[in-house]
Amino acid sequence: MTIDQGDAAPDFSLPASGGRTVSLAAMRGRPFLLYFYPKADTSGCTKEACAFQEALPQLGKLGLEVVGVSPDPMKPIEKFAAKYNLTFPLASDEGKAAAEAYGVWVEKSMYGRKYMGIERSSFLIDGTGKVARAWRKVKVEGHAAEVMAAAKTLN
């Protein structure tokens, strides 16, 4: 299942850092970025999260909220959020239901070994719950700026 631009965003409700819960229903009426990352506190995921944290003031001015999702349990997510002062919600998708619904739980391969994992992806979801933009196989470098440019076109 691949979710693309113009599709209705699949429903989700997940526990998140800071004792929060994030869900599509709770976000309805305001745009947000839902981004999936493979593992808390790894180099690429740290760079990506810190770039979004840094961009939060500008994204906030555009009315955009950010939600990160990984298959990690809450404990490492909370440690990751605290270590880097990440104020936006980082959600735990241990059952991988959200990752599967968004088509980002995929077969990957490293050194000839195949395994299932998160394909680093981001979804810009508008206030009506539709996917305004989808990025697959995200390259961390410059991604926050791409998101900001796309968010400016929402209003």
Each residue's pLDDT tens digit, 45-57 = 999 999 999 999 9
Identify the bridge partners of residue 118 per DSSP, sorted by sequence position: 105
Q: What is the pLDDT of residue 1?
A: 66
Average pLDDT in the chain: 95
All residues at 6 or more sequence positions from 146 whose CB lies less than 8 Å from its CB, including other chains:
135
- Residue 155 clears pLDDT 80, i.e. is over it: no
- Based on the number of CB atoms within 10 Å of its own CB, is 142 exposed (0-12), middle (13-18) or buried (19 or more)? exposed
Q: What is the pLDDT of residue 51?
A: 97
Asked if residues 30 and 65 have their Cβ atoms less than 8 Å apart, the reply is yes
Q: Which CATH superfamily is domain 30-152 in?
A: Glutaredoxin (3.40.30.10)
pLDDT average, residue stretch 1-27: 94
pTM of the model: 0.95
Q: What is the pLDDT of residue 2?
A: 80
3-state DSSP call for residue 68?
A: strand
Q: What is the pLDDT of residue 110?
A: 87
- Residue 98 clears pLDDT 80, i.e. is over it: yes
pLDDT average, residue stretch 31-57: 96
Catalytic residues, which ones? Answer: 45
Q: What is the pLDDT of residue 154?
A: 85
Domain boundaries, the chain: 30-152
Asked if residues 67 and 22 have their Cβ atoms less than 8 Å apart, the reply is yes
Q: Predicted confidence band at 31 (pLDDT cuts at 50, 70, 90)?
A: very high
Please write the tens of the pLDDT for every residue from 101-154: 999 999 999 899 999 999 999 999 999 999 999 999 999 999 999 999 999 998
